[in-house]
Amino acid sequence: MKKKVLAFILASAMVLGLTACGSAASTDTAAPAADTAATVDAAADTAPADDAAPAADTGALIKVGIINNDPNESGYRTANDKDLKATFCEANGYEASFAYSLRNDEQITAAQKFIQDGVDYLLLSAADTAGWDSVLQDAQDAGIRVILFDRTIDADPSLYEASIVSDMAKEGQTAVDWLASQGLDEYNVSISRVLWVQQLRRVVQAHLMIR
């Protein structure tokens, strides 16, 4: 039950961090190169692993492994990384380690290492949607709670505790409903987000001109 409560707290913290990220780009320290193996940054390494009980039960720091994309990818990603480090810090009761890569295989390797290190929680922003079932099953078998953020994956929902991601299909449907409510004779729409385009085409192909 305590791990369930902790998962809720972690998810809430993630929501606050991700909301803050949308406001501005950050000029925080440079991130590792995207074409190298996933880089692991241990924010604290003083709390030993405890196989007997989770950190929440012993009062020790909660061990969190965070797998993210290259912070240099965009201003949003830089701000996202900065907020994650500010949230999951020792002062807030966490021992956080970070791994960065734009390659799925490197992220999976980093996840396997975090599992071996005995983290309590694994936070994941996946580079790709496929290939995660096995490592997430390993995490579940080890009693590690997984929380997805920013990006979803193609995996059984029972393998992760929470998913804090945008619902692109819902956003596309909302946009379509608003456009349709305008009652125009013709619509000229220019869209950059692929999932939005897919949803728009499905819903309004008959009466919208999408370019």
Write down all domains in the chain, each with its CATH number in brackets: 2-165 (3.40.50.2300), 168-210 (no CATH)
pTM: 0.61
Helix H segments across 90-187? 104-117, 133-141, 168-181
**What is the Cα–Cα distance from 71 to 40, expressed in whole angstroms?**
13
Tell me the per-residue pLDDT of 116-140, one tens digit each, with 9 for 90 and over. 999 999 999 999 989 999 999 999 9
Environment class of 68 (CB within 10 Å of its CB; exposed 0-12, middle 13-18, buried 19+)? buried
pLDDT in tens, 194-205: 555 555 555 544
